Amino acid sequence: MERPSHAGQAASLLMVAAEASGDQHGAALVRALRERFPQLQVYGLGGDHMRAAGVETLFDVQALNVVGVVEILAKVPSGLRIAYQLLRTAARRGTQVVVLIDAPGFNLTFARLAKRAGLSVVYYISPQIWAWRQGRVKRVARYVDKMLTLFPFEVPFYTAAGVDAEYVGHPLLDRLHHLPAPTQAACSLGLDAQTPIVALLPGSRRQELRNLLPTMLAAFQRIRQRLPSVQGIIPVAPTLAMDEVQQFLTHYPIPLTLISGQSHTALCAAHFALVASGTATLEAGLIGTPMVIVYKMHRITAWLARRVLCIPYIGLINIVAGRPVAPELLQEALCPQTLAALALHSLEHPEVAQYVRQELALLRHTLGTGEGARRAAACVGQFLQVAETRATATVQE
């Protein structure tokens, strides 16, 4: 299909972030892109962070913010409607480049549709197909023009399959340069830095909240029975309403501090964290907070996952380290007794916590110094420049 001419208009970019963490990374990428292309128009699927960065979000990240095979299947019809509407908008605006951020459940399908529509496809934040269903790398090779990875070990996996991949670094490192000291962080949250603090991070999706928070709360209740002075804090993800979390607390008469966002501050203050598997485990690891990684999903999704998982760990810090720096409690193994016991082992044995912090410091050194969003913007900028050159040549003809 021939594209309409948009000579004289500012360059445009379609960006698709179908998860809360992708929304944050997308915002950082847009800010870095605007340093190079001040007039760049960015639109697509995203959330509050991308909107704050000036992105026109035609669809909100909540529309597809699910995890698991069973849950994703339920979203297929609405997901396809969103995909086709985004591509129709791209055709109207003359957009030639799309940036897809993580979320392979939606974005690998979108990559195929976008490529067929004639767009150049840049995938920022490699989907973890090296961990799940590695055969999908063939689809990446067919439909993705450039893969930008957050971890060095991902590049050989993709290049071996014929994918043009480049390591740009993890954008979290950029957000962790100016962290408060533990005492300062605790005081800013109204907590006592001299008594133990446990952070509860149950994830950014409603289904994670339902699956994980009750167990976390029951475990915290047990921790308080042993350490009555312990303080608990829950940094509520931007994709969740405070009221949703508060409803769970009514069943557990224990004092807990709820804050909106500020997960980094909470993790700085915390002596230990109960963390849902995902980006938050890497946040805790880079900050240096000892933790236990937890996850529970639909039993059918879990049954399928066990058959396609290609690595021994699911926590990002353990994957990057190549060893179990933090314990993992998954599915049936996740229970309040074990979760509380692991937390107490760290809280009651300072030498254990100190050893873990030393291991996490090595992890941070492995990932470098940051500037990942700027390196990613430089790669995306090359595609935008090629698109602009082509558009100019077309107009001249």
Query: What digits encode the pLDDT tens for the residues 208-253?
Result: 899 999 999 999 999 999 999 999 999 998 878 898 898 888 888 8
3-state secondary structure at position 57: strand
pLDDT of residue 5: 41
361 and 241 within one domain: yes
pLDDT lower than 70: segments of the chain = 1-10, 64-76, 129-135, 297-312, 393-397
Is 315 within the bounds of a domain? yes
CATH code for the domain of 317: 3.40.50.2000
Q: What is the pLDDT of residue 67?
A: 46
For the whole model, what pTM was predicted?
0.72
Displacement of CA 27 from its chain's centroid (Å): 12
pLDDT at 141: 93
Question: Given this model, what pLDDT does residue 183 score?
Answer: 95
Q: In this predicted structure, what is the pLDDT of residue 134?
A: 65
Do 78 and 93 share a domain, yes or no? yes
Residues 163 and 183 reside in one and the same domain? no
Is 153 within a domain? yes
Residue 4, domain member (yes or no): no
What are the respective helix, strand and coil percentages of the chain, to the nearest 5? 50, 15, 30
Residue 2 lies in a domain: no
Q: Are residues 61 and 143 in the same domain?
A: yes
37 shares its domain with 144: yes
Q: Which of 318, 339, 203, 317 is nearest to 263 (CA)?
A: 203
- Decide if 1 is inside a domain: no
Domain range for 246 is 176-366
DSSP codes of every residue in 76-135: HHHHHHHHHHHHHHHHHHT--EEEEES-HHHHHHHHHHHHHTT-EEEEES--STTTB-GG
Q: What is the pLDDT of residue 397?
A: 58
Whole-number pLDDT of residue 10: 63
User: How much is the pLDDT for 69?
Assistant: 39
User: Both 248 and 352 in a single domain?
Assistant: yes
Note whether 184 and 114 are same-domain residues: no
Q: What is the CA radius of gyration of the chain?
A: 22
- Look at the chain and report how many structural domains it folds into: 2
